[in-house]
Structure 1
Amino acid sequence: MLMATDLLAMLHRLELTPTAINVLSVMVAQQQPGGAVPLRQAEIADLLNVDQAVVSRAMALLVRRGIVQRSGAGRGHRYALNPAIAGYESEHEMSTELTKVLAAGGPPPIQVPQYRRRPPRAGKGRLQSVA
């Protein structure tokens, strides 16, 4: 599967928790072409052998950072990787999908914490768009 960007190269700058990195890893491995992830949070929790609340917090961080997109309401959430980092079956499919996304205003930006001095304690900081 082709990937549209080098997410791994900037992973350290996103200040993700170890659980969020594990959740993202499962999502990347289980994604369908185009980035749709057919798993629910409970299924991801089972795969990682952690509590669903832990996965929920990690997923919220991934959504805040713009790496994961959430759709649906209530318990019916569906998740997909940001189109800029999703995997595709072919270069043509990736090009076609990204052209559609760009025509609709572009993919959601990936938010990276930006610091003027030293990094603050975990959980604080302003976000800067990278996309």
Structure 2
Amino acid sequence: MLFTTTGLLGALYQLQLTPTAIDVLSVMVKHQQPGGAVEMKQSEIDAILGVGQASMSRAMALLVDRGIVLRSGGGRGHRYALNPAVAGYESQSDLQDEMSKQLALGGPAPILVPDYAKRPPKNGKSGLHAVA
């Protein structure tokens, strides 16, 4: 069992992720090492999801742009990890140690929530709407 530092999955709607990005994130969460490292290539994630290279690249770029996924390395040798603030840890003390380390370095990378282009609808005024 992994402990996490935040309830990210409960706030996904605020991040305005595409369904494919949510699926990619789910695979990454499932396959992460303690501390958030994901030892998978995009092609391996795509093999699980079957979304195609272009969709996979767009989804991963969105996750990186939002700060949920951190990318290191260049070219075809990218390495991916979940942001330390949303990664899983083997124990509460491992989580606390990592957060102390991150705070000493200025804090984990921020998770960027986009601004609304327009004011969100008021509760109860417009009924239910499908979201794609």
TM-score range, shorter chain: 0.7 to 0.9
Equivalent in the alignment of 1:106: 107
Based on CA coordinates, which of the two structures has the bigger radius of gyration? 2
Tell me whether 1:7 sits opposite 2:36 in the alignment: no
Kindly provide the amino acid, as one letter, of the partner of residue 79 in structure 1.
Y
Specify which structure has the higher proportion of strand: 1
Rounded Cα–Cα distance in structure 1 between residues aligned with 2:69 and 2:117: 26
Rounded Cα–Cα distance in structure 2 between residues aligned with 1:55 and 1:116: 25
- Deviating beyond 6 angstroms after TM superposition, the runs of 4 or more aligned structure 1 residues are none
Q: Give deviations 1:77-110, integer Å, cap 9, x for gaps.
A: 0000000000000011111111101100101111
Equivalent in the alignment of 1:26: 27
Equivalent in the alignment of 1:129: none
Kindly provide the amino acid, as one letter, of the partner of residue 98 in structure 1.
M
Aligned length: 119
- TM-score, length of structure 2 as denominator length: 0.87
Structure 2: 5+ residue runs without aligned partners?
A: 121-132
Q: Percent identity?
A: 64
Equivalent in the alignment of 2:60: 59
More RCO (CA 8 Å, sep 6+):
2
Structure 1: 5+ residue runs without aligned partners?
A: 120-131
RMSD: 1.1
Kindly provide the amino acid, as one letter, of the partner of residue 32 in structure 2.
Q
Rounded Cα–Cα distance in structure 2 between residues aligned with 1:32 and 1:48: 20
